[in-house]
């Protein structure tokens, strides 16, 4: 496929002579991703125990999951459907997903579409992410039907995938709770399956891949995030003061812990710092599952002031508006006298 095939499917901002220039940095090569090595610890879902899971959670905050039980056919169909939908024209995608739909379309930021002043700011600073995606409300998806056959088939696949990911996340957290010795009350409130959401990402090809990002450096706000990525690499994790490439291996899932897991563990676990590179020649599809605590459940530990996820989210939104970046857990740290 040519670099500029199917560009009508890209938001106008990311097309030639706007988002990137086909001649700009044409002599550069993309940042090398080492496809021959894999850095992550591996957890076998069928042989998982508090000891081996604890080591990965404490040292890395991210690990590869094998024998997870999610059908390979389901994963393949999801990615095939996502490619077909994302290949539609940008205008069609904007019209396709209504405000009442459980699937909402976004581009340029990880989970929402900039508009108005926000878009003007993004356009002027080029501080944007080279992606588009669908945010999927799993609580609404079973109650909705699409007339379009492709969309309805995709909706059905997402619903089943959400059930599979809920099973995986609940089992993982049960093992974490055993390791952390959480009481039953905390176990039930610290992970809330109804909060589970999916995000389907498409990362654009980018000629200026050395200076642009699919998603810039961040930690997730979730308890647990579970990612399935296609064969195109790009995910990187920060470990021991260096960025390491996360290899794309078929039929495996990438699990990373979010800020809520770090707080619940009293900083015993790590909220994995990660980012996504873009590629000059290839697009990339990935599907993320994110699950959170009960909204008003109070997270209590020695390192942080008591707070709820609602408190945390409010602070994050405030920081994004005032300083333009997520500060996160640092806002809740207990001050050392």
pLDDT in tens, 66-93: 999 999 999 999 999 999 999 999 999 9
| Of 131, 91, 136, the residue nearest 114 (C-alpha) | 131
Of 22 and 269, which is predicted with more confidence? 269
Query: In the predicted model, what is the mean pLDDT of residues 132-149?
Result: 93
Task: Name the average pLDDT for the chain.
Answer: 87
Of 209 and 275, which is predicted with more confidence? 275
Of 97 and 134, which is predicted with more confidence? 134
- The pLDDT value given to residue 287: 98
| Of 12, 223, 197, 226, the residue nearest 103 (C-alpha) | 197
**Topology given in CATH for the domain delimited by 28-298:** Jelly Rolls (2.60.120)
What's phi and psi for 151, nearest 5 deg? -65, -40
In the chain, % of residues over pLDDT 70: 86
Query: In the predicted model, what is the mean pLDDT of residues 229-255?
Result: 95
Place of tokens 């980012």: 275
Domain boundaries, the chain: 28-298
Residue 290 has pLDDT above 60, yes or no: yes
Give the model's confidence band at 333: pLDDT under 50 very low, under 70 low, under 90 confident, else very high. very high
Residue 235 has pLDDT above 50, yes or no: yes
Residues 6+ apart with CB under 8 A from 124: none
Which are the catalytic amino acids? 284
Tokens coding 202: 């498409």
Query: In the predicted model, what is the mean pLDDT of residues 297-303?
Result: 96
Residue 102 has pLDDT above 60, yes or no: yes
Whole-angstrom Cα distance, residue 158 to residue 28? 38
Place of tokens 């640092």: 330
Helix/strand/coil for 184: helix
- The pLDDT value given to residue 122: 43
| Of 29, 24, 22, the residue nearest 2 (C-alpha) | 22
Instruction: Kindly report each contact of residues 48-51 with a partner whose C-beta sits within 8 Å and lies 24 or more positions away, as own/partner.
Output: 48/171, 48/172, 48/175, 49/175, 50/175, 50/176, 50/178, 50/179, 51/179
Give the model's confidence band at 140: pLDDT under 50 very low, under 70 low, under 90 confident, else very high. very high
Q: Tell me the per-residue pLDDT of 167-189, one tens digit each, with 9 for 90 and over.
A: 999 999 999 999 999 999 999 99
Residue 213 has pLDDT above 70, yes or no: yes
- The pLDDT value given to residue 119: 41
- The pLDDT value given to residue 186: 94
- The pLDDT value given to residue 141: 93
Cβ atoms of residues 292 and 303 within 8 Å: no
- What distances in angstroms separate CA 329 from CA 220, 293, 309, one per listed residue? 11, 15, 11
| Of 58, 146, 155, the residue nearest 98 (C-alpha) | 146
Residue 22 has pLDDT above 50, yes or no: no
Residues 6+ apart with CB under 8 A from 263: 299, 301, 303, 304, 307, 329, 332
Tokens coding 299: 């997270």
307, containing H or E segment: none
Residue 160 has pLDDT above 60, yes or no: yes
In the chain, % of residues over pLDDT 90: 75
Helix/strand/coil for 330: helix
| Of 265, 262, 231, 249, the residue nearest 328 (C-alpha) | 262
51, containing H or E segment: helix 50-59
- The pLDDT value given to residue 208: 83
Partners of 132 in the β-ladder: 107, 202
Whole-angstrom Cα distance, residue 9 to residue 24? 22
Count CB atoms within 10 A of the CB of residue 118.
13
Least confident among 10-14, 33-37, 218-222, 279-283: 33-37
Q: Tell me the per-residue pLDDT of 246-264, one tens digit each, with 9 for 90 and over.
A: 999 999 999 999 999 999 9
């Amino acid at each position: 496929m040519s670099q500029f095939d199917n560009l009508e499917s890209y938001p106008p901002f990311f097309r030639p002579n706007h988002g990137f220039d086909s001649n700009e940095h044409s002599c550069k090569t993309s940042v090398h991703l080492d496809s021959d090595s894999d850095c992550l610890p591996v957890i076998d879902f069928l042989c998982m125990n508090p000891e081996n899971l604890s080591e990965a959670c404490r040292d890395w905050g991210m690990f590869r999951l094998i024998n997870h039980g999610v059908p390979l056919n389901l994963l393949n169909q999801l990615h095939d459907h996502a490619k077909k939908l994302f290949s539609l024209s940008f205008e069609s995608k904007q019209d396709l997903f209504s405000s009442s739909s459980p699937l909402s379309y976004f581009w340029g930021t990880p989970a929402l579409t900039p508009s108005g002043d926000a878009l003007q700011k993004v356009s002027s600073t080029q501080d944007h992410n080279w992606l588009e995606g669908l945010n999927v409300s799993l609580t609404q998806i079973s109650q909705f039907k699409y007339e379009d056959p492709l969309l309805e088939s995709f909706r059905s696949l997402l619903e089943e995938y959400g059930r599979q990911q809920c099973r995986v996340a609940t089992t993982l957290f049960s093992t974490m709770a055993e390791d952390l010795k959480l009481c039953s009350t905390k176990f039930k409130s610290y992970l809330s399956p109804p909060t589970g959401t999916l995000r389907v990402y498409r990362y654009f090809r980018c000629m200026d891949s050395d200076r642009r990002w699919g998603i810039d450096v961040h930690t997730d706000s979730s308890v647990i995030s579970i990612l399935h990525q296609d064969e195109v690499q790009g995910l990187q994790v920060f470990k021991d003061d260096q960025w390491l490439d996360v290899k794309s291996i078929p039929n495996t899932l990438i699990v990373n812990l979010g800020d809520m897991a770090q707080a619940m563990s009293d900083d015993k676990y790590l909220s994995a710092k990660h980012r996504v590179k873009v590629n000059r020649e290839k697009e990339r599809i990935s599907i993320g599952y994110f699950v959170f605590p009960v909204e008003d459940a109070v997270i209590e530990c020695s390192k942080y002031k008591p707070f709820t996820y609602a408190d945390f989210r409010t602070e994050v939104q405030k920081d994004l508006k005032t300083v333009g970046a997520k500060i996160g857990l640092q806002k809740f740290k207990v001050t050392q006298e």
